[in-house]
Amino acid sequence: MSTSLTNPPRRELQSFLDFPICTDLDQLDGHIGILGIPYGDPYSIDEVTNDQTNAPTWVRRYTERALRKLERWDFDIGGPLLGGKDIKVVDCGDVKADPRNLDLHYANAEAVVRRMLAKGMLPIVIGGDHGIPIPVLRAYDDQGPITLVHIDAHLDWRDDVNGARNGYSSPIRRAAEMDHIGQIFQIGLRSAGSARPEEVEAAIAYGAVLVPDVELQDIGMKAVLDRIPDGGRYYLTIDADGMDPTIMPAVNGPAPGGVTYPQIRTLIHGLVAKGRVVGMDIVEITPKKDLNGITAITAGRIICNLIGKTIQAGYFDAK
């Protein structure tokens, strides 16, 4: 009989859902990879290490609240997360940065995602600010055509801000310049951000489908989903400020309205079913502004929905 009257100290999760960590890309083996990309292309020296750089750790820490145990029944996806299948989910850690060479972080991010794709993995990225889809999408240059689905309060079509062309106001503009990016759907636009009339005109000239929040709430996410062609290869980029701030309050640019949790769940489930989701990122979480961890928990739930539904759809059955 044990004589111990104490328990070990409580342990916070280091990796997403306590999945195994692999930072040696030569040994990388799995179906799904979680990757933190903390740093963007700053507009000022103060943004080099903004609060968004802490978000990958913050989201991981709260994943135990997003899903208590892997064997538990998840009512959002209709079963346990891994569905009883031999699925390997790996946390690849955070992309390294160099304070003496700020551009190196993007180059490293692109290289890591390329390695993940070469091994047949589904990358799920936690930012970082909204500049990080730029190096991520560059890594998909042999994966096109890709339909880009963008959740955001803001348009993100600026060519540059303060001379920086790869920052958080420019990811969709940069994506539109990539030959492997096809149609672009921008959902949940509302309030006012960095976009001026010329950015709206550029988006429309490209052929981007703009779905303002006022329209989304009128017609619903299923109607928006019906506009996205079937059989595509979809990349989903989610700016946390595109979501309803009652469930994702920890953002720098909150605005009333936004995509609700049931709506993002409908979108993810629908995209997985109608084609192939080839990657996703969730960005612009500022942990210091979070309330009871609900932003991190919502981010974790969004990721769980993608993981669970891709497994159920048989994405990895042949791997």
CA distance 85 to 220: 33
Residue range 246-260: average pLDDT?
94
* Residue 81, helix vs strand vs coil: coil
The full set of domains in the chain, from first to last, is 6-313 (3.40.800.10)
pLDDT at 218 over 70: yes
Contact assessment for residue 56 and residue 94, using Cβ atoms and an 8 Å cutoff: yes
Per-residue pLDDT tens for 119-172?
999 999 999 889 999 999 999 999 999 999 999 999 998 888 888 888 888 899
Contact assessment for residue 178 and residue 138, using Cβ atoms and an 8 Å cutoff: yes
Residue range 235-262: average pLDDT?
96
pLDDT at 2 over 70: no
CA distance 188 to 186: 7
pLDDT at 246 over 90: yes
Per-residue pLDDT tens for 166-204?
888 889 999 999 999 999 999 999 987 777 898 899 999
> What pLDDT is stored for residue 1 in this prediction?
63
Contact assessment for residue 242 and residue 278, using Cβ atoms and an 8 Å cutoff: no
Give the position of tokens 């304070």: 99
> What pLDDT is stored for residue 3 in this prediction?
75
Q: How far is CA 204 from CA 4, 18, 151, 197, in A?
A: 68, 43, 17, 11
Residue range 217-223: average pLDDT?
97
Residue range 212-238: average pLDDT?
97
> What pLDDT is stored for residue 51 in this prediction?
93
Is the bond preceding residue 128 a cis peptide, omega within 30 degrees? yes
Q: What is the 3-state secondary structure (H, E, C) of 31-76?
A: CEEEEEECCCCCCCHHHCCCHHHHHHHHHHHCHHHHCCCCCCCECC
Per-residue pLDDT tens for 19-54?
999 999 899 999 999 999 999 888 788 888 899 999
Mean pLDDT of the chain: 93
> What pLDDT is stored for residue 244 in this prediction?
96
Residue range 280-293: average pLDDT?
96
pLDDT at 102 over 90: no
Q: pLDDT exceeding 90 applies to what percent of the chain?
A: 77
Tell me if the pTM is above 0.85: yes
